[in-house]
Amino acid sequence: MDAMAKDGIRLQPRPGGFGCEVWGLDLARGVSEATFRRIERAWFDHSFLIYRDLQMTPAQHVAWTRRFGPLHIMVPTDWNLPEHPEIFVVGNAEREGKPLGLRRAGMGWHSDGEDKRIPNAGSMLYAKEIPPSGGDTLFADMYAAYEALPEALRQRIAGRRGRFSRIDMHQVHYPHLPPLSEADKRARPDVFHPLVRRHPGSGRPALFVGRWTRDVEGMEPEEGRALVEELFAHATQDRFVYRHVWRPRDAVQWDNRCMLHCATGFDEQRSTRLMHRTTLEGVPTS
């Protein structure tokens, strides 16, 4: 456990080191460069930060996330706050009968933007309103998943790229929705990402698969699909997973380059969940 530093911020890694709680961040007071660097180091060392009891306006949320890198503005822009388009609203909250955010976002293991040419580096999700039960978020450690891969499997994926396909996976994940139109397909072409990526901040290799990964470049489709399924099943085993049960004013800042995450359901008829998310821009993977 980290002792309380002079700046009044306590960093408390979770048992096992996957995740670190951040207590005492006061955005209204301003945060020095030294304190920022300490928190950023903890982010790289522990993959995600759980800020506890954080008071944060949308403007502060945007400004704090921006210190970690350039921000991404979600497209389509329907669920972004009009006055702060960098904030993407998630949940079932409504005002005057109109939904405020995207419902049922992220229900399935993924990293944000994995299906785009430039996946997002990270995201910071802030709990504005949470249901009395359910609506937890799961996080899986892709460094640990990579480390635990049998050597033969590591050899098989070395230097390989996965094909991430909205087009092929849309019907698999959203059988209840209409198929993608030709315009949708043109807007979301297949992309290829390395199955193993080295994190620029930590230097460590992490496994990279998600729910939009279909198969593997240069392999027969069937063989690639089976390999992706094997990797995906391996990566999402309980031993790599932390379940975040939200408390009011929690914010979780995760790193998409070394983790997967997955939203879980709650009683949408009886309770309200409202979350604000900022998203960090990434860099092309190849």
163, 261, 273, 276: the catalytic one is 261
Annotation marks residue 110 as catalytic: yes
Closest by alpha carbon to 211, among 197, 231, 188?
231
**Window 55-114: residues binding Fe ion (CB under 5 A):** 106, 112
The structure tokens listed for 167 are 């087009």
Annotation marks residue 7 as catalytic: no
Query: Can you tell me which of 48, 54, 72, 106 binds ligand AKG, judged by CB under 6 A?
Result: 106
**Window 212-271: residues binding ligand AKG (CB under 6 A):** 261, 263
Which range in 4-12, 105-113, 181-189, 191-199 contacts ligand AKG by CB under 6 A?
105-113
Give the whole-angstrom CA distance, residue 280 versus residue 22.
19
Closest by alpha carbon to 194, among 172, 218, 230?
218
Q: What residues pair up with 242 in beta bridges, in sequence order?
A: 139
Among residues 139 and 143, whose Cβ is nearest to Fe ion? 139
Among residues 137 and 213, whose Cβ is nearest to ligand AKG? 137
Cβ neighbours of residue 113 closer than 8 Å, sequence gap 6 or more: 72, 119, 120, 256, 279, 282
**Chain-centroid distance, C-alpha 10:** 24
46, 110, 211, 214: the catalytic one is 110
Q: Is residue 275 a contact residue for ligand AKG (CB under 6 A)? A: yes
Give the whole-angstrom CA distance, residue 223 versus residue 217.
11
Annotation marks residue 250 as catalytic: no
Annotation marks residue 261 as catalytic: yes
Q: What residues pair up with 262 in beta bridges, in sequence order?
A: 138
Q: Is residue 123 a contact residue for ligand AKG (CB under 6 A)? A: yes
**CA atoms lying within 13 Å on the CB side of residue 53:** 6
**Window 136-165: residues binding ligand AKG (CB under 6 A):** 137
| Interface with ligand AKG (CB under 6 A) | 90, 105-106, 112, 123, 125, 137, 261, 263, 275, 277
Active-site residues, by number, are: 110, 112, 261, 277
